[in-house]
Structure 1
Amino acid sequence: MSFAPYGRDANPDKGQATTEAQIRSDIDAVAPYTKGVRTYASTGGLELVPRLAAEDGLKATVGAWIDKDEKRNEREIANALDAARKNSNVVGIVVGNESILRAEKTPDELIEIIRKVKSQTNVPVTTGETWDVWLDHPELVSAVDYIAAHILPYWEGVPADQVVDRSIGIYERLRAAYPGKRIVIAEFGWPSAGYNRDGAVPGELEQAKIIRTFASRADALGIEYNLIEAFDAPWKSFEGSVGQYWGMLDANRELKFPLTGTLMPATYTATAAIALLLGIAFSIPVFRMGRLTFTQAAVMMGAASLVGAWIATVTDYWLTHYVVGGNKVTFVASIVLLVPLVVVMLYRVEELATIAFGRTPKRLLSAAPAASLPTRTPKVSLHIPAYKEPPDMLKQTLDSVARLNWPNFECLVIINNTPDPAYWEPIEAYCRELGDRFKFINLPKVAGFKAGALRMAMLQTAPDAEIIGVMDADYVVDPNWLRDLVPTFEDPTVGIVQAPQDHRDAGKSLMHEAMNTEYAGFFDIGMVQRNEHDAIVVHGTMCLIRRAAMVEAGDWSSDTICEDTDLGLTIVERGWKSHYTNTRYGWGLLPDDFASFKKQRHRWAYGGMQIIKKHWRRMLPNGGTRLTASQRREFTIGWVSWLGSESVGALAAILSLLWVPFVLGLGIAVPARILTVPIVFCFAIYLLHFTALYRLRVATTPVRMIGAAIAAMAVQFTVAKAVYDSFRYKDLGFARTAKGNWLADAARAFPALPEAVIGGGLLLSAVALRMTNWHAVVEIDLFAFALAVQSLPFLAAAVIGWLEGSTLNAFATWSALRSRALALLPGRGTVAPEAITEKVRS
């Protein structure tokens, strides 16, 4: 056996010498399995091996390491010759190891060294080279006493079931080329772990079968051979993914497989047991959930079992692989990043199973309009804050309020921080024109932004108003909004009734239609499911709040920039119930452009992080609130699902991109498949979740659904940046806007510039890895595919950024193209373009 007596944590490449005690212990470990050992050097303590091997009756083939360091070469040769003179069990001296293959020496230079060594000893002298070098250099064969051929079919990409036949065949070729010459297969082996190389797939069972079969065949044919190697070598991480795993014994000096009898993976039973136990443990919460159907429960338990199997596999990998140095950092960091993604995957599977196979929602308010006004009509005070809003738009909002089918309401229009009279004077006059129900409030300078304005409005709210309604200044409301929803407050425990947002300008462009459909997914899917747990996200338009609940919660707070969600959560924490309807009662205006869409999403995500910082302690079991376990779970997982998955996903993509140069330039191994497959799998679950739930819950078309998916992915980096900003800036108002440099100007000209750069880099990296994967390594292909998947959210942003400035963004362009295409068909004349539906209502 090739023998490198270094401890598990030693690294001879850093000049660490071995010790006599280590050598003696390792000799004892291999003695039961071999007749001799081969070393590759005679310095650093290895010169002691022959003497200690003799104590256990083992022969020794002594190596002299040869490279470009001539002084070391002299020491190596001198020590090897000395060992041969002093120890009768030395049966050969190997001068150099693949010195020609590594271009350390030319054949002539090596031959000269071999001749000098031969002149000083009677022990047979040779050099170790791969079999093809021996075939190419007959002059080298003439210079040595015997051929020491290295036959390692793994490096040639030979499939495991062909390895032994090929190796014996190579031996026969050497015999035919050099008849009568003694031939020793000086290196033969197979790695027990690592990445494939073409058709060569490492593995512990493959190693066992190959070694056992080869040894049997070689012994029968009388072939002399040396197995590489005695022990796994954790320090050989520089030899690619397989360098550490060629040993017959592992780094703990335990035999890796039985030399006879049945073969099975050493850790199979333990890993399977762990997977089973974890699957059961993760499935326990499923049994505690109520109103589950059999299929729904089966899908959720299947996902839980799958995660249990993955964790068991990761554990097995950690325990059976030598994860050291930079690999350890990469492995641990990857697991840390993958955990929230896996949690989100489980949540999405749960939501998918609930909607696709579960029962009909029971808390969703009926979409059927009220037949008539209720007996009791409590007073509603509608609050419309406005900051530099176009007067004509705000007048449309007020007109719709004036048409409300509710006899007992007032409307407060709160103009705040808007000094230009062109914005507020027309509104003041219009409120007088609409009558006493409409109160105009002008706050030229108020602290706390929207929350501050709403707090001031509460001071001027009618004393007998029981319910506060909040609307955005751009919303046109349905006349039956209050008539249908206010009766819900007859239950004295109800504190909030929320209706969804919708928009009336989705027909403006393809981009606007994609944005509107993306919004619809949240209100028709996520909000409906959260409502089942009484854990909705309150948003500050189309929202009705019981005044008493608002007062108890402390009124509007300026602690966060999402004051509506903050207040809603605080109210629910105090035990008030919330209800939701997905019936549309109001339609506003979409963000004007992609930059505004991103800015809005950044504000929501940044505000969400502020809310997490403010409320996270209240999510604990003893958090001092009246939240139920189900509510705490829903709020927590909701935050992780949105903010966590988006930020971790973006961070993982960027780290993957930064890793690529090391893979391409330095040949550093790509992440193991247990780290890349989850990325691809989670994305597949995301696509399944998105597609299935949109088909089941959102009234839209497949084309619009694709647009919504692109719009949803396009803001991943924006959300991630907001999460980062929440740690960087205490208050978003203090975030400095970059000015006066070309990069900032370019970003303003193309709002998706960072995403385009990152997405392009990820996609090009994926292509580069795939094209340079000369040996079809599966892990490289998986990593490349994962990079391509990770590029999609960034490229989605770039696509929308490009589409916004393109004529293809206009519906008129597509209508014209459709008409031209139809006109080219035989027998078809000019066809009038179909009208574009402005919005989809559910």
Structure 2
Amino acid sequence: MAKDPSDTNPRNWRKSVFVRQTAFVFLVLPLVIVANLAVWAALNQPYQAESWTGEIVGLSYSPFHDNREPTKDVQATASEIDKDMKVLSNTVQAIRTYSVAQGQDQIPDIAAKYGISVALGAWIGTDDESNLKQIDRATELALRRNVVRVVVGNEALLRGDVTVDQMIRYLKIANSKIWKPVSTAEPWHVWLEHPELAKHVDYIAVHILPYWEGVPINRAVDYVFDRLDDLHKAFPNKQIVVTEVGWPSRGKVLPRVPYPGMPAAEKGGEATPSIVNQARFLRAFLNRAKDQDLTYYVIEAFDQPWKGADEGAAGSYWGIFNAEREPKFPMAGSISEQPGWRVWAAIAAGLSLVPAMLFILRQRHVRLAGIITFSLLTQIAGSAVAWAGLSVAGLYFTWGGAIVWSFLFFAQGLLLIVLMAEAIEFVEVIWTRRGERHFEPFEPSHPTPEHKVSIHVPIHNEPPEMVRETLDALSRLHYENFEVLVLDNNTTDPEIWQPVWEHCQKLGPKFRFFHLENWPGFKAGALNFGLEKTAPDADIIAVIDSDYQVSPDWLKRMVPYFDKHDVGFVQAPQDYRDAHESMFKDMSYWEYAGFFHIGMVQRNNFNAVIQHGTMTLVRKEALKKVGAWAEWCICEDAELGIKLYRHGYDSVYVNHSFGKGLTPDTLAGYISQRFRWAYGAVQIVKHHWDALAPWSRKGGLTPAQRYYFLAGWLPWFADGLALMFTFAAIVLSAWALYNPASVVLPVAAFLIPTIGSFAFKFIRSLWLYAVRVRDCGFIESVGAGVAALALTHTVAKAMLNGMITTSKPFIRTPKCEDKPALAAAFIQVREEAVILALLWGLTTALYFNPHFADSHSRLWLAVLLVQSVPYASAVLFSFINVMPSLFRRTKNDEQKALVSAD
């Protein structure tokens, strides 16, 4: 063991660190929080706009509360209407209604109590009998003193419910019965397209809604009055009443929709719904309408959540009051998009404060720069959660929407926990002081230990020549007291296993060969058989894979650690000798290296390394005490490490290569190996949950061991969540294409789990490789990242499979396979290729769909493209594997790899 040479007085050093870090908690951490709050304040600066201090001339009014839909034959009650009129009595002079059915015929009488005039609406739909009943009832109500005009039909022509001739018929009937002014309400372009309609109305009832045409907010009010000018020119002798005008506070961002003859100055831009924009529009419009003595009805008095299903996402949010009858914004003074942002900013700071304080007070081995970095990262994470919550504050949810958003927020929270765990590892690796648990190989001059080592070599259908090379390397060990047990596990072809048996006989009595037929338990079963056949005087069990060629000094320089009686196992990293053969193997080599030179080194500081089943040395007494190798688990090596820790044994990890094996020849083999590792991790977590649970107070694991085992596997669980996010994005994108007007793509719930986490992991990976993985340049680091991304879908499947199943057969990682045919480039990654095609296809379809030409939708496209990166990496990596001639390495690359292999 080697200690930090600067620690001349460890007690004083720890005390000074504790004092400094405690001071940091009370001095610097508040500054970080204040900086975060300042960012929130800067992003939520109130908007200054001209004020409106008078009464509003008119508002359109629907009396339906909550999510009650008039299409489902609900009745508006007199008490609800009365409460609404009381709210509006100090705000508006008149209201406009849409129908006289479902209790809405009570509105004129109740409005009269509060001195509110009514523009009475008669609904015109596809049913002629119902339409005539509407006109008859409107005729009766038009006798009320406060009914000032009648509107027969609302956008009936725009919807196509009636023809122009049918509408003219209804207008003639109404005019013959009603002595108040009569018209029908349609958008401005319908009036211009059907000027004959104007001959049968007393006034032009027009809808001018710039939002639906994608007019930018800074042009919206001018646009309304420009369209009014067009109508005045077309119908100079008709009064014009604006029966719908307004702007929504929430909904979909709409691109500009061109119309025939559109001036060049109006082209381009998009309409963004927001509270600030709604207030800006209304204040400016009301002031200008007053100057021009315009009669108008702003849409609308109260938000109507039920309209979202019919009119798109914005349909629910046109009210100047929300559905709870509370004003959304003031008519004078500054306007804030999120008046409650301070609460959410406090939530962000609070969510960040606890993990930051725990980290600062517990991780005393981390330098000040690391503490500051982690504190900043926690503030960013807390703000991300709060911002996502703020983005849905005030939304009206259906049960389905509430379930979808609840899942998205739950999954987002889990992913942020994973990112925090990765941030801890990042900070610890970059800014950790070298601790007492740093191990180096014993010097060759150290006396040869007396421990007898039994080396177990499990094989199954392995190429005989490769196994012979492995055994030859073992025969050259600079260690006298050892034996080798070759455990052939269910190889059925004698031509494969017999040459190995014959070679063992040539190597002498130290090498024993066992051929097991129909043997249960896979690799673990074979190793347990070997344990029974181990020489009685052997006290150390070593395991190496059949492709490993060990260094002669392996045992001599590692076994002495067992002189410390609480050491249960001693581990050296896996290494590979064939990286120079192809770009595929080079990328695989560096991807493996990240685990052994970053994660394992960091875990060793806390006695929490993953026990991997090759280049490992295990105390035989400990192995038997914990129940030997677990035949129920397809990662029996990692499971053994957990058991040894639970029984109080120590571990040693020496980051020095003592043997080199072979990387998989194909991506299929690479994938099957990673599936086994990930699935086995879930098996282990489920089996040992009583010890691994963060709240566990039993089970033999230290808090650090519990944390590092869970934190080490959390990124794999996050891949499972990411796959669910990907499927959710695919479904939402397809639904948006099917129903573009009604779907608001939930960008806020996807930005952090996709783009944010990808950016963080990319930077983190490159930084860690630069610091900890020697001889790995920038290009190699990127290649390792591509290889890791290519395995994302495999890991996700393994984790999800592991959660719902209890066992999978042992998956062997094949070696020395022939290169697959070109068709295998897609066969190896067929699922990834299908998902990639879906993501890119949906991205293309959304990009060229005019409904999604806005900036908000472009962010969603960025989400889809980032989600596609792992799948594109898998397809690219597969082509690199099967078409090495297209991905040749330079001679310099090959020489560098050969030096590394040596």
TM-score of the pair, normalised by structure 1: 0.92
CA contact (8 A) 2:880 2:887 kept: no
State the distance in 1 between where 2:582 and 2:825 align.
21
- 1:365 aligned onto 2:365: no
State the distance in 1 between where 2:448 and 2:828 align.
53
State the distance in 2 between where 1:694 and 1:718 align.
23
Residue of structure 1 aligned with 2:250, choices 166, 190, 193: 193
CA contact (8 A) 1:506 1:839 kept: no
CA contact (8 A) 1:193 1:202 kept: yes
Greater Cα shift, 268-277 or 438-447: 438-447
Deviation at 1:180, TM superposition (A): 4.7
- 1:218 aligned onto 2:289: yes
Structure 1 615/505 Cα, relative in aligned 2: closer, same or farther at 3 Å? same
- Spell out the pairing of 1:90-239 with structure 2 (5 A cutoff): 90-198=147-255, 199-238=270-309, 239=311
Determine the structure 2 residue equivalent to 1:686. 761
Deviation at 1:536, TM superposition (A): 1.4
Greater Cα shift, 143-152 or 435-444: 435-444
Query: Could you say what the CA RMSD is over the residues aligned between the two structures, in angstroms?
Result: 2.5
State the distance in 2 between where 1:685 and 1:617 align.
32
Structure 1 587/670 Cα, relative in aligned 2: closer, same or farther at 3 Å? farther
- Spell out the pairing of 1:17-416 with structure 2 (5 A cutoff): 17-85=75-143, 87-198=144-255, 199-238=270-309, 239-264=311-336, 265-287=338-360, 288-360=362-434, 363-366=437-440, 370-374=443-447, 376-416=449-489
- SS across alignment from 2:125: coil
CA contact (8 A) 1:404 1:482 kept: yes
Output the amino acid matched with 2:187.
T
State the distance in 2 between where 1:359 and 1:99 align.
75
Deviation at 1:439, TM superposition (A): 2.8
State the distance in 1 between where 2:167 and 2:436 align.
85
Residue of structure 1 aligned with 2:786, choices 707, 710, 717: 710
Runs of 4+ in 1 over 4 A off after TM superposition: 745-749, 832-836
Output the amino acid matched with 1:648.
L
- SS across alignment from 1:77: helix
Structure 1 686/19 Cα, relative in aligned 2: closer, same or farther at 3 Å? same
Deviation at 1:727, TM superposition (A): 4.7
Deviations 1:776-813 (A, max 9, x none): 333322222211221222222222333333253664xx
Structure 1 195/300 Cα, relative in aligned 2: closer, same or farther at 3 Å? farther
Output the amino acid matched with 2:846.
L
Deviation at 1:203, TM superposition (A): 1.3
Output the amino acid matched with 2:303.
D
CA contact (8 A) 1:503 1:839 kept: no
Determine the structure 2 residue equivalent to 1:750. 827
Structure 1 172/632 Cα, relative in aligned 2: closer, same or farther at 3 Å? same
Deviation at 1:270, TM superposition (A): 1.7
Structure 1 445/98 Cα, relative in aligned 2: closer, same or farther at 3 Å? closer
Output the amino acid matched with 1:295.
A
- SS across alignment from 1:32: coil
Deviation at 1:24, TM superposition (A): 1.6
Deviations 1:450-486 (A, max 9, x none): 1111112122223332322111111001122222222
- SS across alignment from 2:254: coil
State the distance in 1 between where 2:758 and 2:785 align.
12
Greater Cα shift, 601-610 or 777-786: 777-786
Greater Cα shift, 172-181 or 582-591: 172-181
Deviation at 1:728, TM superposition (A): 5.3
- Spell out the pairing of 1:426-445 with structure 2 (5 A cutoff): 426-445=499-518
Determine the structure 2 residue equivalent to 1:828. none
State the distance in 2 between where 1:405 and 1:809 align.
44
State the distance in 2 between where 1:127 and 1:836 align.
81
State the distance in 2 between where 1:807 and 1:489 align.
45
Structure 1 132/385 Cα, relative in aligned 2: closer, same or farther at 3 Å? same
Determine the structure 2 residue equivalent to 1:12. 70
CA contact (8 A) 1:43 1:75 kept: no
- SS across alignment from 1:840: helix
The total of aligned residue pairs comes to 813
Determine the structure 2 residue equivalent to 1:624. 698
Structure 1 593/219 Cα, relative in aligned 2: closer, same or farther at 3 Å? same
Greater Cα shift, 443-452 or 417-426: 417-426
- 1:422 aligned onto 2:460: no
CA contact (8 A) 1:747 1:754 kept: no
What 5-or-longer segments of structure 2 have no aligned partner?
Answer: 1-58, 256-269, 812-821
CA contact (8 A) 2:597 2:655 kept: yes
CA contact (8 A) 2:444 2:556 kept: no
Deviation at 1:60, TM superposition (A): 0.7
Greater Cα shift, 411-420 or 750-759: 411-420
Determine the structure 2 residue equivalent to 1:661. 734
- SS across alignment from 1:278: helix
CA contact (8 A) 1:773 1:781 kept: no
Deviations 1:4-39 (A, max 9, x none): 111113111223222222222222222221111111
Output the amino acid matched with 1:714.
A
State the distance in 1 between where 2:241 and 2:538 align.
99
Counting aligned pairs with the same residue, the percent is: 36
Determine the structure 2 residue equivalent to 1:594. 667
Considering Cα pairs closer than 8 Å and 6+ residues apart, tell me whether 1 or 2 has the greater RCO: 2
Deviation at 1:404, TM superposition (A): 1.8
Output the amino acid matched with 2:312.
G
Deviations 1:627-674 (A, max 9, x none): 1212111111222211x1122212221232233322112224143221
Structure 1 299/393 Cα, relative in aligned 2: closer, same or farther at 3 Å? same
State the distance in 2 between where 1:5 and 1:749 align.
58
- SS across alignment from 2:514: strand
State the distance in 1 between where 2:283 and 2:436 align.
65
CA contact (8 A) 1:539 1:565 kept: yes
Deviation at 1:747, TM superposition (A): 7.9
Output the amino acid matched with 1:686.
K
Deviation at 1:774, TM superposition (A): 4.0
